[in-house]
């Protein structure tokens, strides 16, 4: 059995969609990758966002659906298409360039070369510092903040009459979907599956 989960920022609607066959393990794995500079995924968009936005304790992680392991990535992609998560950087299923590059980078010969390079490059204090400053500067620009607010507003406006049909049997307002994942009914249903 595999499950699809989301990670949501408590203070905004930024979400990440993922899937796993071991939820608890994956949860620890995400938390660890946020803070462990030696993790190969330390610089992923999700973890950078977590570090810059209050840390792991400002995020919730819930199971939202379950499926057979063989359908795991199709299912995950379905939810990515549905939620359009802001914190994912790759597709789960189906071809695109990022996916190809992910695979390319996973080939042992490339992986080793890249991680050696990254390790050295990102360990340079000035590079690290510069990167941090660049992302802080970018995020504090009034027009970036404004754009983010606009996007959230338009999203709310467009979806105000839409509903979300949850696999647990509930039908809730689209805008309340994240709140729904914290409800006991939903949690009980997910726990009953795995
Ligand atoms: Zn539900």
Summarize pLDDT for 45-74 with one digit per residue, the tens.
999 999 999 999 999 999 999 999 999 999
Q: How far is the CA of 168 from the centre of ligand 1 (A)?
A: 4
Q: How far is the CA of 82 from the centre of ligand 1 (A)?
A: 15
172 domain residue, yes or no: yes
Domain holding 168, by residue range, is: 2-106+141-193
Tokens of 135: 């992302």
- Contact between 138 and 154 under an 8 Å Cβ cutoff? The reply is no
List pLDDT tens digits, range 31-47. Answer: 999 999 888 888 889 99
134 domain residue, yes or no: no
161 domain residue, yes or no: yes
Place of tokens 């392991």: 69
- Contact between 33 and 49 under an 8 Å Cβ cutoff? The reply is no
65 domain residue, yes or no: yes
Using alpha carbons only, give the angle 86, 96, 122 rounded to the nearest 5 degrees: 60
Q: How far is the CA of 162 from the centre of ligand 1 (A)?
A: 16
Q: How far is the CA of 140 from the centre of ligand 1 (A)?
A: 35
List the CATH number of the domain containing 184. Answer: 3.40.1440.10
**pTM, full prediction:** 0.68
The number of distinct structural domains making up the chain is: 1
Q: How far is the CA of 31 from the centre of ligand 1 (A)?
A: 24
Q: Give first-to-last CA distance, the chain, whole Å.
A: 7
- Contact between 46 and 88 under an 8 Å Cβ cutoff? The reply is yes
């Amino acid at each position: 059995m595999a499950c699809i989960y989301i990670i949501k920022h408590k203070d905004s609607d930024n979400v990440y969609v993922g899937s796993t066959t071991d939820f608890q393990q994956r949860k620890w794995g995400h938390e660890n990758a946020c803070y462990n500079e030696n993790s190969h995924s330390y610089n992923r968009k999700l973890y950078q966002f977590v570090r810059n936005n209050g840390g792991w304790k400002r995020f919730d992680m819930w199971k939202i659906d379950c499926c057979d392991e063989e359908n795991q990535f199709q299912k995950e992609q379905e939810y990515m298409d549905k939620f359009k998560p802001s914190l994912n950087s790759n597709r789960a299923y189906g071809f695109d360039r990022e996916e190809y590059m992910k695979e390319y980078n996973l080939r042992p010969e490339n992986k080793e070369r890249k991680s050696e390079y990254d390790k050295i490059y990102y360990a340079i204090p000035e590079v690290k510092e510069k990167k941090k400053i660049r992302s802080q500067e970018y995020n504090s620009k009034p027009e970036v903040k404004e754009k983010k607010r606009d996007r959230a507003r338009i999203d709310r406006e467009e979806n105000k009459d839409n509903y979300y049909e949850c696999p647990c049997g509930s039908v809730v307002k689209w805008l309340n979907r994240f709140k729904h994942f914290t409800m006991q009914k939903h949690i009980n249903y997910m726990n009953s599956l795995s």
